[in-house]
Amino acid sequence: PVAEAVFTVCERFSMALQEKNHLMTLEVSSILLRLYESAQEGQKIQITDRCLDTWDLLFENRVEMAMGLTRNIEQ
């Protein structure tokens, strides 16, 4: 039930923010990542797919922390 709220926050945050607040970006990205991990453990494929779509949205809107977190995950 929390997933929908997380997606809404991420979508609005990535589209509306002109000045990217570093702390807020870190929090939003971290929450999305935790939702993704939780959905993977629970095998909730629709939520994991939507997390990835939302992550892509953060990339498209050039949210720097999303890019940085992804680099850290890949290492």
On whether the CB atoms of residues 29 and 58 are closer than 8 A, the answer is yes
Higher pLDDT, 66 or 5: 5
Residue type, 43: Q
Average pLDDT value for residue range 26-39 = 85
Cα angle, residue 4 at apex, residues 68 and 25 outer, rounded to 5°: 25
As a whole number, mean pLDDT of residues 23-46 equals: 84
Q: What is the mean pLDDT of residues 11-19?
A: 64
Q: What is the pLDDT of residues 37-69, one digit of tens each?
A: 999 999 899 999 998 888 887 777 766 666 666
What is the chain's mean pLDDT, rounded?
76
Helix axes 2-16, 45-60, angle to 10 degrees: 10
Is the pLDDT at 71 greater than 90, yes or no?
Answer: no
Average pLDDT on 16-34 reads 69
